[in-house]
Structure 1
Amino acid sequence: MAQGRGSAVALGLALLCLLIHSEIADAATYVVGDNGGWTFNVVGWPSGKRFRPGDVLVFRYKPSVHNVVAVSAADYRGCSAPRGSRIFTSGNDRITLARGTNYFICSFAGHCQAGMKIAVTAV
């Protein structure tokens, strides 16, 4: 009888692993701004796209003149990057989307205000 329960647990774990793997395999990768990359006037780039949790955004830009900062909704609206914000500076950043709305700005002076920001909702 104990062997039967062990088999059921093993089968359950195998199915769980399969589900996790299939969700990861379904994740899509998007280059922010498409061929233009992460630059000004990308605020509308997410429009018409369907994002899911686990999808990856690739931000391509020249790191000497731009960056990517993950911010809250309020900081997105105010174009501010508070102390402790997660700042990306590689010029080829890969960021995995969490469920809900994910907000990103460039914190270089005036860039966010000029439209270098996006809000991406993953459902």
Structure 2
Amino acid sequence: MIVFKYTAGRHNVFKVNGTVFMNCTIPPPNEALTTGNDVITLATPERKWYICGVNDHCANYGQKLAITMLEEWASPAPAPSPLHHHITSTQFYLWDLGVWVLASDGNHSCCCAFLLV
């Protein structure tokens, strides 16, 4: 899962498609996640895109995140680990990861973060 942590009211999160992501087109407000602690399950191998829809945070500050989830692939004989005994669901790997950070320009400061769990 991924958790978007931010100050509610100052930021939000939209799940969007690739075109909306590239253009930073803001969807209707009722589609936004706005709690400041938004949990998203990453359960299927696919491409996912997220943007901040507040003001110009996406377009001018790069506040967007692209994730490609891939199915687990076979690796050459991994060393045994106690953690492997506790994994019961399919594993996915984050192939590429955009940056969800608000740059500082005197008026804005870094106040968003995401956690991969």
TM-score, normalised with respect to structure 1: 0.51
Per-residue CA deviations over 1:12-32 (Å, capped at 9, x if unaligned) read xxxxxxxxxxxxxxxxxxxxx
Q: Which runs of 4+ in 1 moved over 4 A?
A: none
Q: What is the CA–CA distance in structure 2 between the aligned matches of 1:73 and 1:67, rounded to whole Å?
A: 18
1:68 alignment counterpart:
13
2:93 alignment counterpart:
none
Matches within 5 A, 1:1-123: 56-83=1-28, 86-97=31-42, 98-113=44-59, 114-123=61-70
**Kept in 2: contact 1:71–1:86 (CA 8 A):** no
Instruction: Give aligned-pair identity as a percent.
Output: 35
RMSD of aligned residue pairs (Cα, Å): 1.6
How far apart are residue 83 of structure 1 and its match? 3.5
Per-residue CA deviations over 1:54-112 (Å, capped at 9, x if unaligned) read xx000000011000000000000010133387310000000012421100000011100
Secondary structure at 2:65 match in 1: strand
Aligned residues, how many? Answer: 68
Paired letter, 2:46: G
TM-score, normalised with respect to structure 2: 0.54
Instruction: Identify, as 1 or 2, the structure richer in helix.
Output: 1
Which blocks of at least 5 consecutive residues in structure 1 are unaligned?
1-55
Which blocks of at least 5 consecutive residues in structure 2 are unaligned?
71-117
For the pair shown, which has the larger CA radius of gyration, 1 or 2?
1
Rate the CA distance shift 1:100–1:80 in 2: closer, same or farther, 3 A.
same
Q: What is the CA–CA distance in structure 1 between the aligned matches of 2:57 and 2:23, rounded to whole Å?
A: 12
Secondary structure at 1:104 match in 2: strand
Q: What is the CA–CA distance in structure 1 between the aligned matches of 2:35 and 2:29, rounded to whole Å?
A: 18
